[in-house]
Structure 1
Amino acid sequence: MKFATVQAGDETLYGIVTEEGFTALSPHFPQWSTLRDVIAADGLHILAQAANAHPVTHSTESFTYQIPVPNPEKIICVGVNFPDRNAEYKDGVEAPPNPSLFIRFPRSFTGHDQPLIRPPETPQLDYEGEIVIVIGKAGRRIPADTAYDHIAAISLSNEGTLRDWVRHAKFNVTQGKNWDQSGAIGPWLVPFTAAAQLDDIRLTTRVNGELRQEDRTARMIFSIRQQIAYISTFTTLVPGDIIITGTPTGAGARFDPPRFLKPGDVVEVEAEGIGILRNTVRDET
Structure 2
Amino acid sequence: MRIASLQNQRGPFLGVRRGDGYLDANAALPDLPRDLGAALRAGLLDRLAELAALTSIDGLLVRDAAYRPLVTDAGKILCLGVNYADHAKEASIQKPDYPVVFSRFATGFVGHDVPLVRPRKSTHFDYEAEFLVVIGRRGRAIPAERALDHVAGYALLNDGTIRDYQTRTSQWTVGKNFDRTGSMGPELVTPDELPPGARGLTIRGRLNGETMQEASTADMVFDVVSAIAILSEAMTLDAGDVIAMGTPGGVGFVRQPPVFLKPGDVFEVEVDGIGTLRNRIVDEA
Q: State TM-score, norm by structure 2.
A: 0.94
Q: Which residue of the partner structure matches residue 182 of structure 1? A: 181
| Of 4-13 and 231-240, the range deviating more from structure 2 | 4-13
Is the 1:15–1:47 Cα contact (8 Å) retained in structure 2? no
Offset, 1:90: 2.8
Q: Which residue of the partner structure matches residue 128 of structure 1? A: 128
| Of 49-58 and 12-21, the range deviating more from structure 2 | 49-58
User: What are the within-5 Å matches in structure 2 for residues 158-173 of structure 1?
Assistant: 158-169=158-169, 171-173=170-172
CA deviation map 1:148-171 (0-9, x unaligned): 1110111000110001010121x2
Secondary structure, counterpart of 1:152 in structure 2: strand
Relative to 1, partners in 2 of residues 1:55 and 1:179: Cα closer, same or farther, differing over 3 Å?
A: farther
Q: Which residue of the partner structure matches residue 153 of structure 1? A: 153
Offset, 1:12: 0.5
Q: Which residue of the partner structure matches residue 89 of structure 2? A: 87
4+ aligned runs moved over 4 Å, structure 1 = 56-59
Q: What letter corresponds to residue 181 of structure 2 in structure 1?
A: S
Offset, 1:195: 4.1
Q: Which residue of the partner structure matches residue 97 of structure 1? A: 97
Unaligned stretches of 5+ residues in structure 1: none
RMSD: 1.6
Offset, 1:35: 1.8
Unaligned stretches of 5+ residues in structure 2: none
| Of 151-160 and 29-38, the range deviating more from structure 2 | 29-38
Q: Which residue of the partner structure matches residue 49 of structure 1? A: 50
Offset, 1:49: 2.0
1:239 aligns with 2:242: no
CA distance in 2, matches of 1:100, 1:13: 34
Relative to 1, partners in 2 of residues 1:258 and 1:55: Cα closer, same or farther, differing over 3 Å?
A: farther
CA deviation map 1:212-270 (0-9, x unaligned): 00111111111111111111111100000000001000011111111100111111101
Q: What letter corresponds to residue 242 of structure 1 in structure 2?
A: V
Q: Which residue of the partner structure matches residue 71 of structure 1? A: 73
Offset, 1:115: 0.5
CA distance in 1, matches of 2:32, 2:60: 19
Offset, 1:147: 0.8
Number of residue pairs matched?
A: 281
| Of 27-36 and 243-252, the range deviating more from structure 2 | 27-36
Q: State TM-score, norm by structure 1.
A: 0.94
1:208 aligns with 2:211: no
CA distance in 2, matches of 1:217, 1:56: 39
CA distance in 2, matches of 1:10, 1:28: 14
Q: Which residue of the partner structure matches residue 113 of structure 2? A: 113
| Of 79-88 and 189-198, the range deviating more from structure 2 | 189-198
Secondary structure, counterpart of 1:260 in structure 2: coil
Offset, 1:48: 2.6
CA distance in 1, matches of 2:10, 2:60: 15
Secondary structure, counterpart of 2:152 in structure 1: strand
Q: Which residue of the partner structure matches residue 261 of structure 1? A: 261
Q: Which residue of the partner structure matches residue 5 of structure 2? A: 5
CA distance in 1, matches of 2:247, 2:59: 35
Is the 1:23–1:55 Cα contact (8 Å) retained in structure 2? no
CA distance in 1, matches of 2:137, 2:6: 24
1:35 aligns with 2:21: no
Relative to 1, partners in 2 of residues 1:54 and 1:214: Cα closer, same or farther, differing over 3 Å?
A: same
Offset, 1:142: 1.0
Is the 2:155–2:274 Cα contact (8 Å) retained in structure 1? yes
Is the 2:197–2:223 Cα contact (8 Å) retained in structure 1? no
CA deviation map 1:33-57 (0-9, x unaligned): 1222222233223213223232464
Offset, 1:188: 0.9
